[in-house]
Chain A
Amino acid sequence: MAAPEKHYVDVAGRKTQVTTAGDGPPLVYLHSALGEADWLPSFDVLAEHFTVHIPAHPGFADSEGLDEIRDIEDLAFHYDDLFAELHVERPHLVGQSLGGWIAAEYAVRWTEKVGKIVLIDAAGLRVEGAPVPDMWMTRPPELAELMFASKDHPLYQMMKAFQPDSPPPAEILVAFYGAQQATARVGWDPYLHNPKLERRLHRISRPTLVLWGEADRFVPVAHGERYAELIPGARLERVPDAGHLPVIERPDEVAKRVAAFLTP
């Protein structure tokens, strides 16, 4: 596999960072609020079968244009423009958390323009009795507990060590704050969901896999069950030893399952 290439695409005037590798039909990975827009070694498996694109959402990494993103629908349109710009046709959409929400918003609008869909611990719904804790009211150490299954992940440990009076170095802070801001833009209110999404899910007519970290205490698996119930033909699979971010916590396992689902 050739080394992943980071390049920039002009999307209706918005400079957008995209990392691309592999060969074959297009697969677009939509990242979570964490902003994991760099190449993950575990994606090598996917790059054997697909041309994998990892765009950074506006406001994340080097992607610009958050000013024009006013709500989640604008992100769906942003991706429709990006796909046209990249000349990708019927891409498979794989999205984690915020990225899963975007994938769902895209698919309810343009289901015929999508290959298959993988929603991983996707935000986007409000499920009575299964609230999503307020990520902006919860301090990083407690958030770490909600998000991770494993206590030895470096990110878990970094979040656990956070102290309000001794913040991380400016570089990390800027990336973190930028990601938070871009997430808040679409997810502050209504909180990490679109009240209209649920009743639109029936419009998705493409094969859909719903993957959920078994130990996700942030977006509870009840949300995965709701997605699987409302998207015609969708299947729910639980990922063991994973919390809210299986792509971060169990990358090999996720890549294996995604590859199995996408390659018939």
Chain B
Amino acid sequence: MNFFFFHLMPYPHLPDDFEKRYDSAWIDAPNTLFDPEKGHDLYNTYLDDLVFAEEVGFDGVCVNEHHQNAYGLMPSPNLFAAALARQTKRVKIAVIGNALPLYDPPTRVAEEYAIIDCISGGRLIAGMVVGGGPEYFSFSLNPTFAREKFNEALELVVKAWTTPGPFEFHGNHYRLRYVNPWPRPIQQPHPPIWIPGVGSLETMELVARNRWAYMGIPYFHLSVFERNFEFFRQACEKEGYTASPEQMGWLVPIYVGETDEQARKEFEPHVWYFARKLLKGINASPPGYTSVRSVVKIVESIDKFMLWCDTWQQIEEGSYVICGSPETVREKLEDHIERLGVGNVLGLFRLGSLPTESTRRSMTLFADEVMPKLRARFG
């Protein structure tokens, strides 16, 4: 059982009436709302959070990539991973991930990941993502080519790590006459590859075929995760093997307080800040970004998405977040880990506008009182 501390680096200083005045925290939310002075403080505090995660005993830390939004302030996660490669000594550094179609040519990803892997002494987990729907607006990148480009870029990056250079790569989107990235990653043949998904079968089959790891994209009702991990296990069976728990990761907001009551009191306002302000607009699904078939499937589970939750009861019932005393959090996680069959829990501890002190206290309680028991239970 591995516990990761996942940071989104949210912008916590949006005006109170943000959701009334703006349609979205993405794409066109005016960047004048970002205060660079506060940004100085935020970035340093957030990096400290990640270092703190190692100190209290997490197995790994995660960063990710999003552009032009208030939800997550890491357009270039590799910058943070590079800083962490220097500032930490033990934890895995999971970049989940680089949005491959946004890198042209994507050999850039092979290079930067190899650097992080070298600096950290082989602690990188290489996440590869298609990029969120909003990113295709922010980059004016044709979403109808998203999957094609992602698949081709992924093939190129893996090939760049596994085939001695120089070689020629000739694809539909990327044509490179000399692929020969210096440096090469310290982990051979390449760092572990993690790929997140919302439930598209194509993604699961790709991950299953290559025996990589599949991450469930959060903010859905627990039943959506249950179904998706079940599909993933089936995809692995079709490839002739049984999925190991290490191949599956569940990303979920977690808050641990002294008591259930206190935890809710401390956490709930920040959950709503997150759900009502920061999630607004994340569901932008540009045309062709997912297959027509998948869109119908996603629309079917639209009422199981956190953005549409109105009450705390709904949030709790669907386990959109796990919040409570150490005992309650342990109990819920034990049940859910069992049900989902995952070997990686990726906890979002710094949700929305949650202050530093609460975040660190919750992380400490989790590391001291929840993790050991779950480790004893799941190994």
Q: Which residue of B27, B141, B299 contacts A167 across the interface (Cβ within 8 Å)? A: B299
Contact A184 B28 (CB under 8 A): no
Nearest chain A residue, comparing its CB with the CB of B144: A185
Contact A178 B292 (CB under 8 A): yes
Contact A189 B308 (CB under 8 A): no
Contact A174 B302 (CB under 8 A): no
Q: Which residue of A139, A164, A180, A191 contacts B287 across the interface (Cβ within 8 Å)? A: A180
For B27, the chain A residues whose CB sits under 8 A away are 137
Q: Which residue of A139, A165, A177 contacts B295 across the interface (Cβ within 8 Å)? A: A177
Residue A170 at the B interface, CB < 8 A? yes
Contact B302 A167 (CB under 8 A): yes
Residue B296 at the A interface, CB < 8 A? yes
Residue B137 at the A interface, CB < 8 A? yes
For B296, the chain A residues whose CB sits under 8 A away are 170, 173-174
Interface string of B269-294 (1 = CB under 8 A from A): 00000000000000100111000100
Residue B262 at the A interface, CB < 8 A? no
For B295, the chain A residues whose CB sits under 8 A away are 173-174, 177
Contact B292 A188 (CB under 8 A): no
- Known A-B contacts A137-B28, A189-B140; the reply to A177 vs B303 at CB < 8 A is no
Q: Which residue of A66, A165, A170, A188 contacts B302 across the interface (Cβ within 8 Å)? A: A165
Give the complex CA separation of A66 and B143 in angstroms: 14
Q: Which residue of A170, A178, A188, A191 contacts B143 across the interface (Cβ within 8 Å)? A: A188
Residue A42 at the B interface, CB < 8 A? no
- Known A-B contacts A167-B302, A174-B296; the reply to A181 vs B142 at CB < 8 A is no
For B23, the chain A residues whose CB sits under 8 A away are 139
Distance between A262 CB and nearest chain B CB, rounded to angstroms = 34
Give the complex CA separation of A177 and B140 in angstroms: 19
Give the complex CA separation of A164 and B307 in angstroms: 11
For B28, the chain A residues whose CB sits under 8 A away are 137
Task: Please list the residues of chain A having a beta carbon within 8 angstroms of any beta carbon in chain B.
Answer: 66, 136-137, 139, 164-165, 167, 170, 173-174, 177-178, 180-181, 183-185, 188-189, 191
Nearest chain A residue, comparing its CB with the CB of B148: A67
Give the complex CA separation of A191 and B144 in angstroms: 14
Q: Which residue of A137, A173, A185 contacts B142 across the interface (Cβ within 8 Å)? A: A185
Nearest chain B residue, comparing its CB with the CB of A136: B286
- Known A-B contacts A170-B296, A173-B296; the reply to A188 vs B142 at CB < 8 A is yes
Nearest chain A residue, comparing its CB with the CB of B288: A181
For A167, the chain B residues whose CB sits under 8 A away are 299, 302
Give the complex CA separation of A181 and B146 in angstroms: 12
Task: Please list the residues of chain B having a beta carbon within 8 angstroms of any beta carbon in chain A.
Answer: 23, 27-28, 137, 140-144, 283, 286-288, 292, 295-296, 299, 302-303, 308
Contact B299 A165 (CB under 8 A): no
Contact A137 B143 (CB under 8 A): no
- Known A-B contacts A137-B27, A165-B308, A173-B299; the reply to A184 vs B144 at CB < 8 A is yes
Most chain A CB neighbours (cut-off 10 Å) among B144, B288, B295 = B144
Q: Which residue of B137, B288, B302 contacts A185 across the interface (Cβ within 8 Å)? A: B288
Contact A189 B287 (CB under 8 A): no
Give the complex CA separation of A139 and B296 in angstroms: 19
- Known A-B contacts A184-B142, A188-B140; the reply to A177 vs B302 at CB < 8 A is no
Distance between A131 CB and nearest chain B CB, rounded to angstroms = 14
Give the complex CA separation of A165 and B23 in angstroms: 14
Contact A177 B286 (CB under 8 A): no
- Known A-B contacts A165-B303, A167-B302, A174-B296; the reply to A184 vs B287 at CB < 8 A is yes
For B143, the chain A residues whose CB sits under 8 A away are 184, 188
Contact B287 A136 (CB under 8 A): yes
Distance between B28 CB and nearest chain A CB, rounded to angstroms = 7
Nearest chain A residue, comparing its CB with the CB of B23: A139
Give the complex CA separation of A191 and B28 in angstroms: 17
Q: Provide 16 A-B residue pairs closer than 8 Å at the C-beta atoms, listed in order of the A residue.
A: A66-B144, A137-B137, A164-B283, A165-B302, A165-B308, A173-B296, A174-B296, A178-B292, A180-B288, A181-B144, A181-B287, A181-B288, A184-B288, A188-B140, A188-B143, A188-B144
Contact A189 B142 (CB under 8 A): yes
Nearest chain A residue, comparing its CB with the CB of B28: A137
Contact A189 B141 (CB under 8 A): yes
Most chain B CB neighbours (cut-off 10 Å) among A173, A177, A185, A191 = A177
Give the complex CA separation of A177 and B290 in angstroms: 10
- Known A-B contacts A165-B308, A167-B302; the reply to A177 vs B142 at CB < 8 A is no
Give the complex CA separation of A191 and B142 in angstroms: 10
Nearest chain A residue, comparing its CB with the CB of B142: A188
For A137, the chain B residues whose CB sits under 8 A away are 27-28, 137
Nearest chain A residue, comparing its CB with the CB of B297: A170
For B283, the chain A residues whose CB sits under 8 A away are 164
Contact A177 B292 (CB under 8 A): yes
Give the complex CA separation of A185 and B299 in angstroms: 22
Contact B137 A136 (CB under 8 A): yes
Distance between A78 CB and nearest chain B CB, rounded to angstroms = 16
Give the complex CA separation of A188 and B137 in angstroms: 9
Beyond known contacts A137-B27, A165-B308: 15 more, CB 8 A cutoff: A136-B137, A136-B287, A139-B23, A165-B303, A167-B302, A170-B299, A173-B295, A173-B296, A174-B292, A177-B287, A178-B292, A181-B287, A184-B144, A185-B144, A188-B287
